[in-house]
């Protein structure tokens, strides 16, 4: 991380008990999506934004995420610039429903 959290473990433990489902970060010029399983079995997404226009991207891609939600279901579309247009590169379908409610 460019500016790592001094209390990262405490923050992760808090998130695992919290009602938070999506954490958005950025600044490092690459896109990344990481799923963390919370204590009740539901998911939390760490979504690290890409860069739409910077020439210094670490993954060589200009990109962004489009997030669509419907209650506890979420679709995250990673859109990457190629051939003069942003197009869908990968779509993640995520269900935030706790395991015991499915």
Q: Is 85 inside a domain boundary?
A: yes
Structure confidence at residue 50 (pLDDT): 86
> Domain limits at 79?
8-101
Q: Is 22 inside a domain boundary?
A: yes
Number of domains the chain is built from: 1
- 40-57: per-residue pLDDT in tens? 889 999 999 888 888 877
Structure confidence at residue 28 (pLDDT): 76
Q: Is 20 inside a domain boundary?
A: yes
Is the whole model's pTM more than 0.75, yes or no?
yes
- Mean predicted lDDT score pLDDT of the chain: 89
Q: Is 3 inside a domain boundary?
A: no
Residues of the chain where predicted confidence (pLDDT) is lower than 50: 1
> In whole angstroms, what is the distance from residue 62 CA to residue 50 CA?
7
Strand order in the sheet with 63-70: 63-70, 73-82, 85-95
Structure confidence at residue 36 (pLDDT): 92
Q: Is 26 inside a domain boundary?
A: yes
> In whole angstroms, what is the distance from residue 11 CA to residue 91 CA?
27
Tell me which residue has tokens 């269900």: 95
Closest CA to 65 of 53, 46, 80: 80
CATH number of the domain enclosing 51: 3.60.21.10
Q: Is 59 inside a domain boundary?
A: yes
């Amino acid at each position: 991380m460019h500016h790592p959290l001094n209390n990262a473990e405490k923050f992760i433990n808090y998130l695992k008990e919290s009602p938070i489902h999506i954490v958005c970060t950025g600044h490092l010029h690459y896109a990344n999506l990481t799923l963390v399983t919370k204590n009740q079995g539901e998911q939390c997404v760490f979504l690290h934004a890409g860069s739409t226009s910077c020439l210094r991207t670490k993954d060589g891609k200009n990109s962004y995420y489009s997030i669509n939600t419907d209650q506890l279901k979420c679709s995250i579309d990673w859109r990457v610039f190629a051939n003069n247009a942003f197009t869908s590169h990968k779509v993640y379908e995520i269900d935030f429903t706790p395991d015991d409610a499915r």
